[in-house]
């Protein structure tokens, strides 16, 4: 269990209607809008008072508004992904693509959620919740919210573990700043502080078959939000947090740290027009052994027969030159994250193939970071070993096709 992205749902599309004595805060939704919320979390985990590990976590939500209702609430479809780098992990400095969670929910114009109990994400719900009256700098209000944690693995609890709280809001001031998207425009933000404390003594959770389970949950969250009044959404936010769970058997799980998040709107890239454009750029750049396809996640550029030093993840100079050219294409999509996927031919054990595919994906990701295409928080890696061949492994020609790295410009 982590304090993670899933705090990020305070983001979803608030806007401000000017009023004579202040601003009325409401959520405003547009059908078919797509956006991505990305947070980075630095977390310290203790078990029974003893430091367990430190972690840097990247949490990513891709969101689509599928319908706006007559009461100005909106139906959302979301995909949540979290990736963690702990000290000493094999993935090194890059973030590997983690487990994905799907969620559907409706959110009202004031910020309240209507979500089925089968969905574990988002974690923080009904934050922010806006008052019905105008507010101005210095004004305060309170509203009820709750956290919904996924404790299936830790305590075998089959439904979201919900912890209620009362959030205190303060509209601090208006402040000029730089937007977090690729435009880096100067903006006037409305600075909002949100804080709440947790203290919850829980009954025996329904559906648990575990010997141990949470008895008391304590903690706090202190968040500062930068509202973009022109766009009508949150631009970014920062947070300090702590969660302490005490169980009936006397165990303590302590999570504390800081996080920062950004919200970016984007257009779908996996279109026929973009496919044709990228294929033309590949031809103009004189690139060989390259294919471009529309995939479920976005637009995928496949580097077939990519050359590394023998049995290693060290890119040969020819491949570095090729990736430098591809970086010109990738730089045309500054608001879209990248997923680098490694594949191998079947040589040796599947375990060795898996490790090599991950290392080679990391090598390409590191080179793109070195070129300045993206920073490490916007490039994710994934290895599949030899499990997804595109040709047989019966001869060297086919093996060279399977020995590939794919760069996906992410839609979601």
pLDDT per residue as tens digits for the range 111-151: 899 999 999 999 999 998 889 999 999 999 999 999 999 98
DSSP state of 315: B
Is residue 46 a contact partner of residue 20, using CB atoms and an 8 Å limit? Answer: no
| pLDDT at residue number 311 | 67
| pLDDT at residue number 125 | 95
Per-residue pLDDT in tens (0 to 9) along the chain, 412 residues: 545 444 444 444 444 444 446 888 888 899 998 889 999 999 999 999 999 989 999 999 999 999 999 999 999 999 999 898 765 444 446 788 988 899 999 999 988 999 999 999 999 999 988 899 999 999 999 999 999 999 888 888 889 999 999 999 999 999 999 888 777 888 989 899 999 999 999 876 565 556 788 899 999 999 999 988 777 788 999 999 999 999 989 999 999 999 999 988 877 888 999 999 999 999 999 998 899 999 888 999 998 888 887 767 888 888 899 999 999 999 998 889 999 999 887 777 888 888 888 998 999 999 999 999 999 999 999 998 888 887 777 777 777 777 789 999 998 6
CA distance 103 to 76: 8
Residue 355's H or E segment, with its range, is helix 350-371
Q: Which two tokens stand for residue 45?
A: 């985990």
The whole model's pTM is what?
0.81
The CA distances from residue 244 to 19, 52, 150, 198, 216, in Å, are 42, 14, 15, 9, 8
The neighbour count for residue 133, using CB atoms within 10 Å, is 12
Q: Which two tokens stand for residue 168?
A: 């205190």
The neighbour count for residue 101, using CB atoms within 10 Å, is 17
CA distance 198 to 271: 46
Contacts for 150 with CB less than 8 Å, ≥ 6 apart: 1, 120, 121, 123, 160, 161
Is residue 380 a contact partner of residue 337, using CB atoms and an 8 Å limit? Answer: yes
Omega before residue 122 within 30° of 0, cis: yes
């Amino acid at each position: 269990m982590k304090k993670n992205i899933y705090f990020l749902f305070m983001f979803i599309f608030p806007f401000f209607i000017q009023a004579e004595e202040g601003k009325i805060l409401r959520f405003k939704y547009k059908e078919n809008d797509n956006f991505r919320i990305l947070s980075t979390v630095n977390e310290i985990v203790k078990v029974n008072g003893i430091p367990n590990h430190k972690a840097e976590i990247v949490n990513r939500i891709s969101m689509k508004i599928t319908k706006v209702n007559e009461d100005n609430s909106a139906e959302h479809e979301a995909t949540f992904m979290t990736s963690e780098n702990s000290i000493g992990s094999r993935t090194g400095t890059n973030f590997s693509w983690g487990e994905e969670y799907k969620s559907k929910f409706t959110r009202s114009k004031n910020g309240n959620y209507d979500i089925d109990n089968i969905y574990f994400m988002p974690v923080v719900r009904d934050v922010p919740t806006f008052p019905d009256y105008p507010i101005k700098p210095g004004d305060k209000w309170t509203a009820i919210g709750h956290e919904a944690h996924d404790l299936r693995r830790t305590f075998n609890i089959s439904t979201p573990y919900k912890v209620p709280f009362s959030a205190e809001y303060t509209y601090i001031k208006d402040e000029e700043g730089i937007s977090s998207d690729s435009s880096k425009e100067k903006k006037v933000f409305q600075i909002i502080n949100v804080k709440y404390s947790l203290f919850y003594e829980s009954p025996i959770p329904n559906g648990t078959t575990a010997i141990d389970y949470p008895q008391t949950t304590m903690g706090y969250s202190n968040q500062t939000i930068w509202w973009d009044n022109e766009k009508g959404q949150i631009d970014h936010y920062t947070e300090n947090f702590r969660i302490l769970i005490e169980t009936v058997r006397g165990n303590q799980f302590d999570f504390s740290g800081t996080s920062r998040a950004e919200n970016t709107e984007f257009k779908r890239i996996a279109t026929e027009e973009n496919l044709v454009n990228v294929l033309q750029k590949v031809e103009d750049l004189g690139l060989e052994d390259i294919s471009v396809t529309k995939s479920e996640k976005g637009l995928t550029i496949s580097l077939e027969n990519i050359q590394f030093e023998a049995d290693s993840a060290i890119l040969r100079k020819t491949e570095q030159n090729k990736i430098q050219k591809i970086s010109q294409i990738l730089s045309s999509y500054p608001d879209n994250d990248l997923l680098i996927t490694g594949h191998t031919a079947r040589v040796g054990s599947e375990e060795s193939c898996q490790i090599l595919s991950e290392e080679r994906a990391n090598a390409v990701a590191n080179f793109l970071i070195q070129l300045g295409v993206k920073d490490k928080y916007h490039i994710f890696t994934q290895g599949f070993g030899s499990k997804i061949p595109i040709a047989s492994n019966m001869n060297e020609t086919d093996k060279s096709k399977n020995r590939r790295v794919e760069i996906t410009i992410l839609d979601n």
